[in-house]
Structures are given as structure tokens and as C-alpha cells.
Amino acid sequence: MECQLTIALTEQKKEKPASDKLGFGVHFTDHMFVMDYTEGKGWHDPQIVPYSPLTIDPAAMVFHYGQAVFEGLKAYRNKAGEVRLFRPDQNFKRLNRSLARLDMPAVDEAFMIEALKKLVSVEKEWIPTEEGTSLYIRPFVIATEPCFGVRASHTYKLLILLSPVGAYYAAGMKPVKIYVENSYVRAVRGGTGNAKVAGNYAGSLKAQTEAHEKGYEQVLWLDAIETKYIEEVGSMNVFFKVNGEVWTPVLNGSILEGITRDSTIQLLKSWGIPVVEKRIAMEDLFQAYNDGVLEEAFGTGTAAVISPVGEMSWNGHKMVINQSQTGEMTQKLYDTMTGIQYGVLEDKLGWSVKVTE
């Protein structure tokens, strides 16, 4: 089991970037959390230390066999100065599922949440307060044993990095254009698609780049088996409002179990909007579009929270959704979710966790 968390504070604090120059994931705070794992000894030596480069053997297994999993969540700070996390228990639960999939050792979820709260409170001044800004939190675990044998590593390192991030929609929400990908696939049942595994993302970059070249911002992934059913959008889950009800792909073993996805489903249901989790054939979505009942479309994920989809391209068919405007329900979801995250709306579902000191 983890022992006592030790804290070593830096003597050289960095200058904080201006809140309109934050971007996403390019600035990092003064400290980070580090914890080591050694087979036989378990996780040990949890520490908050100054942010610094890793010194790591070039033969470390993470570089060769990709044993690396991660999580993403945010800390929000409101005008009153209160700092909140959003459902962090879900992130550490999923981290353990991802770790298990890559044959890596589980962490103590309760301890991790406490360690994270401590780290966030140490870095409290780094959390921007302007509308839409937040502190992105990146827990990750990498295999560190220097060895070329193809087997699970015997040593690991868990880190948490913090990065102040700008408003995803600095100029208001802007619907994105999506390219439905028919050649590359993201994941398949029996693979690692439902875990938050580094390799899933590496495999997606080429399709993303090709979509950009065609003038689209994101890729919509179809299933690997029949290239027929909708799976995800970019690195987000995806929802469609069709004739008053909301469809989202059912979790099938290759789709990531998004926490914003789950929160979206719960919110919609609490509003009395029917949500159907099912296999969605691209053909059926196109039919709904042609019938004039595809009313709204959006992605869900930690970075954007809710990302409206304004246009889709599928096999040469161009589908313009809600005149490329953010739909009413999409906007309400965004406003409600972020309202709860910042602690300015009532948190009926008990999702928001205050970082106390």
C-alpha cells in the first residue's frame, strides 16, 4: 500500500501565462505528483515534487511496447475562489480498468483522489478563473523497466501533471465538421478501444491528419467489423438528437466509456428526454437526416465538454445539421454541465467534489 505522501515545494516558481494565451496542454504547473511501483513491493513513495524532466532508461518498456495508460479530468475555480473536481472517482475507476487491460498493477482509488486534491490545492493559484478556463489534470502510468522481452514490466511510474487550459470555445461554441472514416479504424472488440490506452491515440492520428487535409476537423469512427456502425468522434463520444429522442452508440467493448458521456445521459434523462443507447448504422442516421428528423449532433469529452457537430461527410454525402448552428439542447447541456463543474448551478446528482485544504 502507498505510504505517506511527501511534499517538496519548488523554490523557483514559473511565471503564469496570461489567461487568453493558455491554449490546451502546453503550459504546466510548478509541481507534479509521482509514485513508483516495484513488483513485490507495490506502489510506493508517493510524492509531490517540482515539475521536472524524467530521467529514464532508453530501454524502458514504455518506449518499445507501449504499456501506458492515462486519464483526463479538470479542476474548476469559480469567481468565489472555490475549486472543484468533476466526478474524479470515475476517472480513477477507469484508470484501474485501463491498467488491468494492459496487465499493469491497480492503484488505490481513494488514495489517488486524496493525493490529487492535495496536488490541486498546492497549485491552486494556477487555476485560471476566466469563463471556460480550467486546470486540466493528466494522471498517467508508464512502464519503466529496461528490458526488450515482450512481457509486462516489473516497474512502473504514475504521474499527475497539471496544465492550465484556455476556454475551448474562446469565441463562443462553434460546430465542427466531421469526416466519416471508412478506411482506418480506431478499435475492435477484444482490443483496447474501451481502455484509455496510449496506443489507441497513436493509431488515430493518420486519419485525423487526412481529414484535416480534406477540410474536416474531426473523424467519425465506424466499427471495425462491418464499417457500418457509429463508434466515436475524434476522441469523444457522440450523440444525435433524432425526432425528439437522443441516440448514442451502446458500449460494445471498443468504445471508450466516457465520463462526460455518462453524465450527458444522466442529465438528459433527468430532463425527461428519452436516451437510446444502441448500435447506430451510419445508413440509418443518413436516413434520419434525409427525413429531416436529425435535429442535433454533438461530441462529449473532458476537453470540450460538449462539442456541437455542424456538418458530416459520409461517402460523398454532405449532411448539414441544424444549419451548422449549435442546437438548443446541445447548448443547454453545455451550460448545465459547466454550471455544475464551476459550482454555479445546483449539483443535484452529486458530481462536483470540492477541493478542501
Q: What secondary structure does DSSP assign to 286-335, as a single string?
A: HHHHHTT-EEEEEEEETTTEEEEEEEEEETTEEEE-GGGS--HHHHHHHH
Residue 63 in contact with its own copies, rule: CB under 8 A: yes
Parallel, antiparallel or unpaired: strands 305-314 and 294-301 = antiparallel
Only one of the segments 122-130, 171-179, 202-210, 263-271 lies at the binding site for its own copies (rule: CB under 8 A); that segment is 202-210
Residues 131-150 that bind its own copies (CB under 8 A): 136, 138, 140, 142, 146-150
The 3-state DSSP class for residue 316 equals: coil
Only one of the segments 26-34, 288-296, 307-315, 341-349 lies at the binding site for its own copies (rule: CB under 8 A); that segment is 26-34
- Phi then psi for 209, rounded to 5 degrees? -60, -45
Q: Which of 161, 288, 321, 353 binds its own copies (CB under 8 A)?
A: 161
Judge contact between 89 and 113, C-beta under 8 A: yes
Residue 14 in contact with its own copies, rule: CB under 8 A: no
The set of cell numbers assigned to 302 is: 473532458
In the beta sheet, which residues pair with residue 7?
48
* Minimum distance, C-beta of residue 142 to its own copies, in the bound complex (Å): 5
Judge contact between 261 and 231, C-beta under 8 A: no
Residues 262-321 that bind its own copies (CB under 8 A): none
The residue type found at 110 is A
Q: Which region, left, alpha or beta, applies to residue 172 given φ > 0 means left and ψ of -120 to 50 means alpha?
A: left
* Minimum distance, C-beta of residue 181 to its own copies, in the bound complex (Å): 9
Residue 17 in contact with its own copies, rule: CB under 8 A: no
Residue 187 in contact with its own copies, rule: CB under 8 A: yes
Distance between CA 85 and CA 37 in Å, rounded? 26
Only one of the segments 114-122, 224-232, 308-316, 346-354 lies at the binding site for its own copies (rule: CB under 8 A); that segment is 224-232
Q: Which of 43, 65, 168, 229 binds its own copies (CB under 8 A)?
A: 65
The set of cell numbers assigned to 64 is: 518499445
* Minimum distance, C-beta of residue 63 to its own copies, in the bound complex (Å): 5
Only one of the segments 25-33, 260-268, 307-315, 339-347 lies at the binding site for its own copies (rule: CB under 8 A); that segment is 25-33
Q: How far is CA 217 from CA 21, 78, 211, 229, in A?
A: 22, 31, 7, 20
State the residues that interact with its own copies by CB under 8 A.
24-26, 28, 32, 51, 53-59, 62-68, 70, 72, 100-103, 136, 138, 140, 142, 146-152, 159, 161, 163, 183-192, 197-206, 208-209, 224-225, 227, 234-235
